[in-house]
C-alpha cells in the first residue's frame, strides 16, 4: 500500500530515528496457510496444544482470537461467552456469574478475572471431533502465546501470528480498551522477528491502529446473503477502506457469483492492492456441491487467493503442494 511507506517513516521518526524491526509479513508471497484457532480440527481450539500442533504441521501462521478479562488481560477465545469451549458449567463456584446478554444466557469473559479464567479447562466445541484432549489445558493468555512463538522461533520455526481481536467496541464500552495491550504485544512480536497480521471485523477500530503498529491490517468481511439469489455479497464496497488496510479476510461464500462462476472479488481486491485471505476450510464441513476438501482447496487456490484459514493445516499444506506441482508444468518440475 502506498500509505505503508509514509506510516513507516512516521514510526521511524517517533522512535528517534533508530531503525525498527521489520514485519516480514509484508513480504509474503504465494498462498499462506493459516492454522485457524490452531490445528483446531485435532485439538481443542485456542489452546497451546492446538497452536503447537499447527506449528508441527507446518502452518505459515497461527491464528489466536483475543478477548479481554474483567481485570484487563487478553486471553484466547473465539467468543465472549464461555460455555461452548470451556468446562465452566462444571464449576459450581461460578454459577452466579451466568447471566443473559443480548438474549443469550451464558458465562461471559468480561465477568471473570484472569485468575478465575485459569481455573477453567478447554474443551472441543464441535460434535464429531475427538474429545481425548478435553480438560488437559487452561486458557492461554496473549503473553503466553507470544512466549510460545518466541520459543518456537528459537527452535527454527519461521511461522507468524495472525491475531484477531473480537468485539473491541463491546469491551471498550465496558471500560476494557484492549488497544494498549495489543500494541505492546505487537511490538514484542515484531521485535522478535515473528511475522504479524492483525485482523478485525470492526474496520473503524482496525484502521485506528494504522500508524501505531507495523502489523499488516486485514479487514474481515462476512458479507450478507441475498434473500432472492441466496448468494453472499458485500455489505460495503472494498474501496471504503482500501487505502487504510493491507488486505481483506473474507467469507469464502463471497467468491461465488451467479451460476457458480467467480464473483470477481479477488480480482477487484488485487486491483486495489489488497491481499485476499479466505475463511474457513474444514475437512469435516465441505460445501454441498464440492466432493472433497482437496477439491475445495484447489478451487480456492485457482481463484488466486493469497491465504486460507483452515482447522486442518496439514491437509491444506498437502493440497497446496499438489496444486503447485500441477501448476508448475513440466519445465519447472525438472
Q: What is the mean pLDDT of each run of 10 residues along the chain (334 residues)?
A: 48 47 92 98 98 98 98 98 98 98 96 98 95 97 98 97 98 97 98 98 97 98 95 96 98 93 96 98 93 96 97 98 82 44
* C-alpha cell read off for 60: 505459515
Nearest to 139 by CA among 249, 59, 64: 64
Write down the pLDDT at residue 326: 85
- 36 included as an active-site residue: yes
Largest CA distance in the chain: 67
Nearest to 153 by CA among 189, 198, 199, 197: 189
Write down the pLDDT at residue 20: 62
C-alpha span between 35 and 42 (Å, rounded): 11
Which residues, in sequence order, are CB contacts of 7 under 8 Å at separation 6+?
210, 211
Domains of the chain: 29-80+142-333 (3.20.20.190)
Cα 40 to its chain centre, rounded Å, is 12
Burial of 69 (0-12, 13-18, 19+ CB in 10 A): buried
Nearest to 3 by CA among 293, 217, 155: 217
* Distance between first and last Cα of the chain: 36
DSSP 58-103: T-SEEE-EEEE-TTS-EEE-SSSB-TTTB-GGG-GGGGGG-EEETT
Nearest to 245 by CA among 283, 287, 271, 275: 275
- E-strand stretches of 123-246: 160-165, 196-200, 216-221, 224-225, 232-233
pTM of the predicted structure, to 2 decimals: 0.92
- For residue 24, give Cα distances in angstroms to 192, 240, 284, 295: 11, 26, 33, 31
- E-strand stretches of 60-208: 61-63, 65-68, 74-76, 99-101, 104-106, 160-165, 196-200
Write down the pLDDT at residue 281: 98
Write down the pLDDT at residue 327: 82
Helices (H), 209-312: 265-271, 293-302
Write down the pLDDT at residue 332: 46
For residue 280, is the peptide bond before it cis, meaning its omega torsion is within 30 degrees of 0?
yes
C-alpha span between 10 and 305 (Å, rounded): 31
| C-beta atoms surrounding 163 within 10 Å | 27
C-alpha span between 171 and 36 (Å, rounded): 23
Write down the pLDDT at residue 333: 41
Pairing verdict, β 99-101 and 104-106: antiparallel
Q: At what angle do helices 293-302 and 313-333 cross, to 10 degrees?
A: 60
Write down the pLDDT at residue 4: 52
* C-alpha cell read off for 223: 458479507
- Considering 26, 36, 46, 157, which one is annotated as catalytic? 36
- Considering 46, 73, 78, 277, which one is annotated as catalytic? 78
Half-sphere exposure of 94 (CA within 13 A, CB side): 22
- 270 included as an active-site residue: no
Q: Are 219 and 245 in contact (CB under 8 A)?
A: yes
Amino acid at each position: 500500500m502506498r500509505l505503508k511507506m509514509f506510516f513507516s517513516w512516521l514510526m521511524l521518526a517517533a522512535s528517534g530515528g533508530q531503525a525498527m524491526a521489520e514485519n516480514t509479513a509484508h513480504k509474503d508471497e504465494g498462498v499462506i496457510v493459516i492454522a485457524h484457532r490452531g490445528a483446531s480440527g485435532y485439538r481443542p481450539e485456542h489452546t497451546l496444544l492446538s497452536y503447537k500442533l499447527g506449528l508441527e504441521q507446518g502452518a505459515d501462521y497461527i491464528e489466536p482470537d483475543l478477548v479481554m478479562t474483567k481485570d484487563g488481560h487478553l486471553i484466547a477465545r473465539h467468543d465472549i461467552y464461555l460455555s461452548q469451549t470451556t468446562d465452566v458449567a462444571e464449576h459450581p463456584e461460578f454459577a452466579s456469574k451466568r447471566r443473559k446478554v443480548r438474549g443469550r444466557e451464558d458465562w461471559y469473559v468480561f465477568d471473570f478475572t484472569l485468575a478465575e479464567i485459569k481455573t477453567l479447562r478447554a474443551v472441543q466445541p464441535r460434535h464429531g471431533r475427538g474429545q481425548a484432549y478435553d480438560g488437559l489445558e487452561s486458557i492461554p493468555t496473549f503473553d503466553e502465546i507470544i512466549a510460545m512463538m518466541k520459543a518456537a522461533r528459537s527452535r527454527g520455526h519461521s511461522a507468524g501470528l495472525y491475531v484477531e481481536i473480537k468485539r473491541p467496541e463491546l469491551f471498550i464500552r465496558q471500560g476494557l480498551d484492549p488497544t494498549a495491550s495489543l500494541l505492546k504485544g505487537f511490538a514484542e512480536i515484531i521485535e522478535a522477528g515473528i511475522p504479524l497480521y492483525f485482523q478485525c471485523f470492526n474496520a473503524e477500530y482496525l484502521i485506528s491502529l494504522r500508524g501505531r503498529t507495523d502489523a499488516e491490517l486485514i479487514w474481515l468481511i462476512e458479507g450478507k446473503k441475498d434473500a432472492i439469489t441466496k448468494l453472499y455479497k458485500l455489505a460495503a464496497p472494498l474501496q471504503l477502506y482500501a487505502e487504510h488496510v493491507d488486505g481483506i479476510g473474507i467469507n469464502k461464500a463471497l467468491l461465488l457469483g451467479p451460476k457458480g462462476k467467480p464473483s470477481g472479488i479477488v480480482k477487484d481486491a488485487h486491483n486495489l492492492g489488497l491481499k485476499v485471505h479466505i475463511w474457513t476450510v474444514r475437512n469435516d464441513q465441505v460445501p454441498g456441491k464440492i466432493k472433497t476438501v482437496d477439491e475445495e482447496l484447489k478451487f480456492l487456490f485457482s481463484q488466486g487467493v493469497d491465504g486460507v484459514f483452515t482447522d486442518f493445516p496439514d491437509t491444506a499444506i498437502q493440497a497446496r503442494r499438489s496444486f503447485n506441482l500441477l501448476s508448475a508444468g513440466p519445465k519447472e518440475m525438472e
